[in-house]
Structure 1
């Protein structure tokens, strides 16, 4: 049967149009990262222009303009990497959409930085470098520039790799490396560095243990009860009360310490009031629910959203100030011709930090949010609630004990703790309730069934371990390069 030439032409045209449409889709997919990079570059340029025009009556020095640009770049990287620790669990548990998480995080991070931030911040990053060892103001400025640039570059690299790292540790490493390059190893306070190194182990372990303990409680007293709804009515308000008291203390320590001081008694009162308010609400919400685990998840969703928002507020008030500390140090040294161990962060520096975090979060944050929320281990609202509560409790415990900890390490460690507890608990129940002769499973299949992805675990741990030395090495090299060029 002869083919119709006209039909063949139409088929060929359809194929060509299909190829063109596929090419358009591919072009859009490839161009998405370029759009983000373009917007980020535009923000950095606008910061430089704004500082040039609006900062004071005199033309600001090129040093301050360059430092402001680096500060904006650092703030973008904080938004891309650090904020994922607060929003990842809520997104992974489907309590928030990605868009909702980005909006809430941007608003509360900015509010925390602008309303409760700006405390006197140690510009030598919590006593890492002795200011007297760097006698020359110009040398000090270049050291802080190198620290700011190296920490921003390292956090950018970690985000690209997909590893949530501590921006504060990156700044610590940058300051240490520049200090060593400027004044030698004697300039470093090695006792403080030892305490920070110890926090690499203490932070994630403590966060994981606390999160696993709460998950074990929820499983024993709610999930595995015959009447799950009745158990939830009894215990979910208690957990909400605990969360309210803990977060009140956490915010007072990390975000509102200039405004309000909350002691143990006040925290207990806040927890009791929250319990009294939430108990009838949980009772009404649970009416008519089926007696199954899926019904329980909705009872934890709203508290989880509140916890994510409060964690973001505290992060904006506390961690951002630490990250822009080197910028504040440069501004102080350039304006007053001297440097000090601690200075107040100017409002315009906090504005750069707040807007930079928002841009970084919107443009590049989803990658790390997905990593923390769903790619390490599977989270639901109950597990994510345990992670959020653990993050606040662990910081409070560490502060009482005088331990320097990283909120990033705590949050990610809590996710790992939940995942590893699930693995242990699942194996324990299979041995207890399984067949007398368990089915033999191949080693590869056994590894595939693990509830925590080992590849992500190893990548994140490696990134944590090398953050300080990597940032220090980069900072030292950048400082030596600046000194060689400008001398």
Structure 2
């Protein structure tokens, strides 16, 4: 049998090569469409599920539409808000991105389903007077407009890479719909003033507390002559503070949805847990540090596991606290359709509604969260386990302090403000050491050179601050527009 000519094999190889390149190009083009496709499937399944449960009931179409919008909102909360909990741990290399996504998805879902809100205020804590919505239909369109506007704004902010407050987004949506329905007098501007005040209080307080903890670590551990001995003394104390702060934080922001706990009781619980954690960690840290060298790099290993635990606890508390932002208006719509009552101050959140919120947050985190996680963890300032630990600890302590002072704060603003606080403290500390070194060794670094040694990216600071300021007005404007469209269609 005669062999085929050699050029025939060359032609076949070229054809196969072209097919391989075509397949690679197809995969490359299709890859960005995978996440939106899965998200769209989740939203569609939510709508189908709502249709199965409510298809034969009056107002079923409204409930189905609201469920779809609620699922979309939950996806955007997962994409934007959860980065604040996991970003520092990923930036410090204590967790891989995949590990962070897995832990956050599990603990966010657990927090939402185990300790998520049983009830939710329908008019967002008295921001809009109930009389602004004269009819049940008006109330339903207003809540739907608020939910959709908040979701659209979060989607846009995530696309631009700006971590913004979910709570402020939904508040802005309610305000915009309230103004469109009842005019400017329908809004409680005193409550809005308190929310505006939190734009300043949350990041500043979070940044200051994070910077204070980092200063303590530097002064008492990192620059100690015997770093290992100092770590054995102070790391258990810091872990005790973390355990106590998180116990109080979870009692206030998570478990209070199951059992009513006041601030004094939460602090008592936190103090007790903190003392126990300190006692347990003293021998643990002593064993971990036995073979360590007396240098800064060794200290990072002592903070890695506590940092991972703190990120998981933050995710649990976030799921418990913020799931209502995704499904609160949806629960209000379901209540209004079923009971015909738009004036109820609080409504129960059905378990199927909570499931939409928990599932959407987890899907949004896994599909779209990595972008914001990288920004918070890597692109604002360089983090290591000790700095990231200060960020996580600040988030818990700041909530406790703010609750004690009766101040409205945003968990998003606290966490991001803490990252900036750590970065600016590093700048200040580096400048101080450079000046001291110049005085001792006579080597003076020129001011223009010192100005170039910035440890915080100013572009991110400006972008994040701008996004925070315009969140409420932007979501309010979107909500008013959506409300007008819905009223016109209806």
Instruction: Specify the TM-score bucket, using the shorter chain as the normaliser.
Output: over 0.9
Task: Work out the CA distance in 2 between the residues paired with 1:139 and 1:183.
Answer: 10
How many residues are treated as equivalent by the alignment?
477
User: Is 1:229 equivalent to 2:232 in the alignment?
Assistant: no
State the shift of 1:59 in Å.
6.8
User: Is 1:458 equivalent to 2:462 in the alignment?
Assistant: yes
Q: Structure 1: any 5+ residue segments left out of the alignment?
A: 1-5
8 A Cα contact 1:52 1:59, kept in partner: no
8 A Cα contact 1:113 1:318, kept in partner: yes
Instruction: Find the partner of 2:297 among 294, 299, 302.
Output: 294
State the shift of 1:329 in Å.
0.9
3-state SS of paired residue (1:324): helix
Task: Work out the CA distance in 2 between the residues paired with 1:383 and 1:462.
Answer: 25
3-state SS of paired residue (1:164): coil
Task: Work out the CA distance in 1 between the residues paired with 2:89 and 2:190.
Answer: 37
Q: Structure 2: any 5+ residue segments left out of the alignment?
A: 1-5
3-state SS of paired residue (2:255): coil
Q: Deviations over 1:349-402 (max 9, x none)?
A: 100000001110110011101110111101000000000000011111111111
Decide whether aligned partners of structure 1 residues 469 and 235 sit closer, same or farther in structure 2, where only a CA change above 3 A counts: same
State the shift of 1:235 in Å.
0.3
State the shift of 1:438 in Å.
2.1
Task: Work out the CA distance in 1 between the residues paired with 2:25 and 2:418.
Answer: 38
Instruction: Find the partner of 1:438 among 428, 439, 444.
Output: 444
3-state SS of paired residue (1:404): coil
8 A Cα contact 2:221 2:231, kept in partner: yes
Decide whether aligned partners of structure 1 residues 19 and 453 sit closer, same or farther in structure 2, where only a CA change above 3 A counts: farther
Task: Work out the CA distance in 1 between the residues paired with 2:200 and 2:56.
Answer: 49
8 A Cα contact 2:232 2:282, kept in partner: yes
Decide whether aligned partners of structure 1 residues 39 and 437 sit closer, same or farther in structure 2, where only a CA change above 3 A counts: same
TM-score (norm: length of structure 1): 0.94
8 A Cα contact 2:114 2:320, kept in partner: yes
User: Is 1:306 equivalent to 2:314 in the alignment?
Assistant: no
Q: Deviations over 1:66-121 (max 9, x none)?
A: 00000000000000000000010111111111111111101110011101113321
User: Is 1:478 equivalent to 2:482 in the alignment?
Assistant: yes
Q: Deviations over 1:390-436 (max 9, x none)?
A: 00111111111111110000000000000000001001000001353
Question: Which residue number corresponds to residue 3 of structure 1?
Answer: none
Instruction: Find the partner of 2:395 among 387, 391, 395.
Output: 391
Task: Work out the CA distance in 1 between the residues paired with 2:484 and 2:214.
Answer: 50
Question: Which residue number corresponds to residue 77 of structure 1?
Answer: 76
Task: Work out the CA distance in 1 between the residues paired with 2:377 and 2:73.
Answer: 23
TM-score (norm: length of structure 2): 0.93
User: Is 1:374 equivalent to 2:373 in the alignment?
Assistant: no
Task: Work out the CA distance in 1 between the residues paired with 2:243 and 2:260.
Answer: 16
Question: Which residue number corresponds to residue 333 of structure 1?
Answer: 336
Q: Deviations over 1:274-319 (max 9, x none)?
A: 0111110000000110111111001001111111011100110111
Runs of 4+ in 1 over 6 A off after TM superposition: 12-20
Instruction: Find the partner of 2:282 among 269, 279, 282.
Output: 279
Q: Which moved more, 1:179-188 or 1:321-330?
A: 321-330
User: Is 1:365 equivalent to 2:369 in the alignment?
Assistant: yes
